[in-house]
Amino acid sequence: MSRKLKYSEARYEETQTECLFLVCNLEKLNYYLEGAVFEVYTDCTELQSLLNMKTTNRHMFLWQIVIQEYRERMTIIYKEDKSHTNDDGLSRWPLENVKKTQLITQKKSPKFLST
């Protein structure tokens, strides 16, 4: 799942950006991940050691706290960039930031008919 980076987020280093997206997706999918054992595939080696990483960066520290909730159930697996033959289209196609209320109120009529 994807979203457009905010102006300040666009200046983050790669590890920070990967961590940000991990936290955002964990929060979005929390309902589905509650109690489930799951794997996260990444091409960022630093994410594997994220939970044990000692950092002075405020953002990374706060994100580590959020990720702690999933520590026992989540496995972060490094997958080399070249071996990503099934690029995840959702993370490669950034969406505009849309509020949840906008998504609910902006229903469009269906483009097909069912009979």
Number of domains in the chain: 1
Question: Mean pLDDT: which of 39-48, 84-93, 102-111 is highest?
Answer: 39-48
pLDDT tens digit sequence for 89-115:
545 555 555 555 554 455 444 444 443
Mean pLDDT of 66-82: 85
Contact 18, 109 (CB under 8 A): no
The answer to whether the pTM exceeds 0.85 is no
pLDDT tier at 73, thresholds 50, 70, 90 = very high
Which domain covers residue 82, as residue numbers?
9-105
Residue 79 inside a domain? The answer is yes
Residue 113 inside a domain? The answer is no
Residue 31 token pair: 């309902």
What are the two backbone dihedrals, phi and then psi, of residue 24, each rounded to the nearest 5 degrees?
-60, -45
